[in-house]
Structures are given as structure tokens and as C-alpha cells.
Structure 1
Amino acid sequence: MSSSRAPAAVREIWLIRHGETAWSLSGQHTGRTDIALTDNGREQARALAPVLAGQHFDVVLSSPMSRATETCRLAGLGDRMTITADLHEWDYGIYEGRTTADIQKTDPAWSVWQSPIPQGEDLARIERRAGSVVEALLALHGRVALFSHAHFLRALGGYWASGAAALGEHLYLETASVSVLGFDHEARAIRRWNSISRSR
């Protein structure tokens, strides 16, 4: 488990979840499927532009999935975007495209946070990936904008704050939301969570 204390070379990490897709609207697990934003999702992404324009970002990172990269572009940061493979969503394996309610018809106790994910990533693998991303972020300087996906960002926020990705189970995220990771003195802290643009 990683220490949650570190020098603040990086001042803030802004976590931006991509805009709405048809599957985020229906609750279907969307990992490796490269599904596009809906019209509403594109409007949500555009509504981020004035929020992000008020900040100077030293680094802009995005998942390679089109729903994340399009959100980044529509939010006004596409010209500075660096694609980072480790920011892709949780790989849901055999559960890709299915809702939790559907899965629980045959496995009532199933949870993405606590159950095995055949042919995909379980929590232990996600925690290792989140830990690797945190170490890379700590080597950066200034303010970072990071465009990614709900479950991975929740795991990343949990790991940042506590050294345990499992905390993400309790950190809900809306589409096109903004959260900010930073520090309280030298302790890693969640400074803001699940903020939604007032123009939406």
C-alpha cells in the first residue's frame, strides 16, 4: 500500500469524467468498447470549456477511448492532449455491455468492486494500475487535467486519498463531472468531488 504523503511537486490533478454515452445512460458497463458521446454528452463536454478555461494546466492527459478524447477536445484542451493508455476504463471482461442489475439476476452478490472479473480486471489489478498512475502523476509539476472514465477515476481518487482503490466504491461520479485531487499540507487529499457545470 502506497503512502498517502508526498511532496507537492504536482499541485492539483483535475479529474474529468467523459460526457454521456448511450451506455452510461443505460448503466451498461463500458470498458474496452469504444462508444461515442451522445448529443447530450457533447453538450456536457462543451459546458466544461468555461470551467477549464479559468485554469492553467501544465499537462493534459487522456484515456485513448474516443469518449474521453472527444470530451477533452470539446472542453477546449484537445490541442494539448497526451494519450495515456493507463487511463482507460476498467476492463469488465465477460461483463462488458451488461448492467449490474442484469448480472445480479444470476449472481445476486456481484459487485465490480468486490467480485472476480473473468477475462478482465479485478480490483487488485485496478489498484496496481491506479498506483502506477499516481506515481507518474507525482513526478509531474503544476496542474494536471486528466480525462478518463467513471470507475477508473473513482479507483484513482480512492488510491490517491487512502492508498486503496476500494475507497472508490464510495465516490460517485456523474458524466462530465470535475473532481480535484491535491494536498492538505503534505498529505494527499480530495479537494473537490463530482462538481457539475452550472451551465448544464
Structure 2
Amino acid sequence: MAILVLMRHGQSVWNLENKFTGWVDVELSDKGKEEAKKAGDQLKGLHFDYAYSSALKRAQETLQIALDEAEINNIPTKFDRALNERMYGDLQGLNKAETAKKFGDEQVHIWRRSYDVAPPNGESLKDTADRVIPYFESEIVPKIKDGKNIIIAAHGNSLRALVMFLEKMSPEEIIKFEIATGVPRLYELDSNLHVLKVKNL
């Protein structure tokens, strides 16, 4: 049996300002740093063999703060943009409320919550899954099958792609599924990647 923990980064400064962030490399807010510390408190007593994060500093900072708080040291860590947040294209940097006024609530809702409709010059959740899942299967799955414990710090949409894969959710189910900032989600998995137990810490 292996443990896999998925952890969305703490609140970022653009989460706080209600902006579409995507691949823009913004930092954690003060609240986000506190969320990361609280996550670390929930991780105390767990053992990890490997850690992964996206290439964006809000995920990397969350991972480091949480591991420090949990007193988990010196584990091999990889950063890869395959785990980055969904690329929001022309919406990046725009305030969500202003964007809804400009394009209409219904259109923005479709861009944000549909599975396979991308915003202009951006990625849909399906596009995000198409880069997250192959990386997960090639880089991380062999370690899980070998009984290694893994923690991944990433983003709302890249983690939803993994939740969909692990929990065998449909597109309709995953678009309704929310991942809170700074709340670790723990899976116990067998060597065939079957979920034995899942819970938020």
C-alpha cells in the first residue's frame, strides 16, 4: 500500500484579488502562508519518499512551508510544468467579476466550469488533464506501485485532473468538484492504483 497526498497551494495574492491566474507566477498571500502551515500541521506523522510540485512558486512555496511545519526533511523533490495550473489564456490577469461583465456570466461560467471548452488562447480542463495524466503515469505511478509515499503540491485544475483519474469521475462529476486551498487530500492506494481510502486532512 502507498499513500498519495494531493495539496492545492494556499491562497495566492491573485486569488485574494479575484483574478484569473493560470500560469502567471504570483506569490502566496499572508493567508495562503497560514493555510500552508496548517496543511503541514495535518501532515505531521506521515512519511513521504518523494515530493512533486508544479513549476509555479505558489505551489512550491506551499510545499516547502508545509513540509517544514511537518518536520519532513530532505526528500527528493521535482518541479515540473506538467503539473502547472490550467492556462487561462486571454483571461489571465483579469478580474473575474469584470470578465463576467465583459463577456457575460454564462460565457465565463462555460469557460470556467465546462470540461472541454477552453477560454481564448487557453486550456480547458481536458487539455490540462492531457498533460497532467501522462506525466503522472510515467513519473509517479511506478513509484506508487513500488509502495512509495508521494506528496504533490499543485493547483485547483491540475489536481482536479488527477482526482478525476484516481476516482474515475465523469466530466460531469469533476466539473462540480471543488478543491479547497491548503487542504491536503490523502489517498491510500494498492499496487494496482485502486483507491482503498480517501479523505481530506
Tell me the SS of whatever aligns to 1:128.
helix
C-alpha contact 2:129 2:158 (8 A) present in aligned 1: no
1:150 corresponds to: 156
Distance 1:94-1:190 versus aligned 2 partners, 3 A rule: farther
2:48 corresponds to: 57
**How many Å apart are 1:20 and its aligned residue?**
1.1
CA distance in 1, matches of 2:199, 2:24: 26
2:94 corresponds to: 98
What is the TM-score when the length of structure 2 is the normalising length?
0.79
What is the TM-score when the length of structure 1 is the normalising length?
0.80
CA distance in 2, matches of 1:171, 1:190: 20
1:86 corresponds to: 82
My pick for the range that moved more, 30-39 or 161-170, is 161-170
- Aligned-residue sequence identity (percent) comes to 25
C-alpha contact 1:17 1:174 (8 A) present in aligned 2: yes
My pick for the range that moved more, 179-188 or 137-146, is 179-188
Task: Find out whether 1:111 has 2:115 as its counterpart.
Answer: no
Distance 1:38-1:150 versus aligned 2 partners, 3 A rule: same
C-alpha contact 1:18 1:149 (8 A) present in aligned 2: yes
1:177 corresponds to: 183
**How many Å apart are 1:191 and its aligned residue?**
3.5
1:4 corresponds to: none
1:139 corresponds to: 142
**How many Å apart are 1:78 and its aligned residue?**
7.1
Amino acid aligned to 2:47: H
Amino acid aligned to 1:68: A
**How many Å apart are 1:184 and its aligned residue?**
7.1
CA distance in 2, matches of 1:41, 1:51: 15
My pick for the range that moved more, 110-119 or 172-181, is 110-119
C-alpha contact 2:125 2:157 (8 A) present in aligned 1: no
CA distance in 1, matches of 2:121, 2:36: 32
C-alpha contact 1:157 1:190 (8 A) present in aligned 2: no
1:48 is aligned, of 39, 42, 54, to: 39
CA distance in 2, matches of 1:193, 1:29: 28
1:198 corresponds to: none
**How many Å apart are 1:94 and its aligned residue?**
0.8
CA distance in 1, matches of 2:165, 2:157: 12
**How many Å apart are 1:111 and its aligned residue?**
2.9
My pick for the range that moved more, 161-170 or 47-56, is 161-170
2:17 corresponds to: 26
1:123 corresponds to: 125
How many pairs are equivalent? 186
C-alpha contact 1:19 1:42 (8 A) present in aligned 2: yes
Task: Find out whether 1:39 has 2:30 as its counterpart.
Answer: yes
C-alpha contact 2:111 2:124 (8 A) present in aligned 1: no
Gaps of 5+ in 2: none
CA distance in 1, matches of 2:79, 2:50: 11
**How many Å apart are 1:112 and its aligned residue?**
2.4
2:61 is aligned, of 53, 70, 80, to: 70
CA distance in 2, matches of 1:41, 1:185: 34
